[in-house]
Amino acid sequence: MKKGIKILFIGDVVGPLGSAVFQKHISAIKAKHEIDGVILNGENSASDGKGITPRKVNFFKHNGVDVITSGNHIWAKKDIYNYLVHNKDLLRPANFPSMCPGVGVTTFSAAGKTIGIINLQGRVFMHQHLDCPFKTAESILTYLKTKTNVIFIDFHAETTSEKIALGHFLDGQVTGIVGTHTHVQTADERILPHGTGFITDLGMCGAINSMIGMKIEPIVNNFVTQMPHKFMVETSPPAQLCGAIIEADPDTGNALSIERIKIIDDTVQFNSDHTDA
C-alpha cells in the first residue's frame, strides 16, 4: 500500500533504442506503481549516444518526465547550451564551474509537495577538474532545505566507492541518492542507517547485447589493439529499461522504501520520434 510520495528514477537513456523502450513502458510503470514524479538521466539520449538535444528534452517531457539529469556528456551537443540557460527542467552537474550554462539543482511539484533534485558529478576517473561534489552538496542543501525536506541526488560517477561514500556522507540529510554513468544496474538498493534511500547505479535504457549501449565490436577491438575505433550506438533489440523507485515520507523527508526495476523487451522498435532529426 502506498504511504508516501513515489518518485521513479530512470537510468541513462542511450540513443534511439533507449528512448523507444522508455516510451513504450513508462505509462504502464507509472500506473502500476502509482508514481508521482519521474526523474530521468538523458545525457546519452542523442542519436549517437553522446549528449542531449532540445528535441529530446521535449520528447521526455511529453512522455511524463519532470526533470532530466545529465553528466559528463552534457556539453556534447552545442544546441543544448541555450536551452540550459533558459530552462531548469534539464540539469547539468552542480559542481561544474558557475559560469557554465544551466543549473545543477531545481524543484518540481509532485503529489502537491515540492521535490528537490540535485545533479552532481564524481571526480574519480572522470577526467574533468570539478569542484568537490561532497562540499557542493553541503552548500546547496543549506538553502534547498528551506524549500523542501524531500530531496534527491543523481550522482553521475565512475566508481562505486565514491558513490557509496557520498551516500554515507549525506545519509539522513537527503531522501535518496541514485548513481548513474556506468550503465550497469547494481543490486545494492537499500535504506541507509539514517533514512536515505540509496542505489550505486540505476543501470540504463538501451540494447542488452551491447557494451553499455554501444556496438560491441569496436569497443572490444579498442581493448585488444589499443587503437582508436569509432563507437556507435547499438539499435537492435532486445532492450532493457532500468531504474528504481523511492517512496518518500513527505513529513520527515526520509525514504520509506526503495525498489529496483528492470524490464526486458525483445520486440521494441524505434522510429523518427526517438531520433534527433
Q: Residues 220-256: pLDDT tens digits?
A: 999 999 998 888 999 999 999 999 999 999 999 999 9
Classify the C-alpha dihedral 17-54-77-71 as positive or negative: negative
Helix (H) or strand (E) holding 139: helix 133-144
Structural domain for 246, as ranges: 5-268
How confident is the model at residue 233, as a pLDDT? 95
Place of cell 550522482: 155
**137 assigned to some structural domain:** yes
CA 104, CA 90: separation in Å to the nearest integer? 9
**274 assigned to some structural domain:** no
Whether the ω angle into residue 133 lies within 30 degrees of 0, i.e. cis, is no
| Catalytic residue of the set 73, 156, 181, 183 | 73
Tell me the CATH number at 174.
Answer: 3.60.21.10
How many Cα atoms within 13 Å fall on the side-chain side of residue 42? 32
- Rounded to 10 degrees, the C-alpha dihedral 183/133/80/113 comes to 90
How confident is the model at residue 1, as a pLDDT? 66
Fill in the amino acid letter for 220.
V
Domain count, the chain: 1
**277 assigned to some structural domain:** no
pTM of the model: 0.96
CA 216, CA 15: separation in Å to the nearest integer? 15
**162 assigned to some structural domain:** yes
Q: Is residue 73 flagged as an active site residue? A: yes
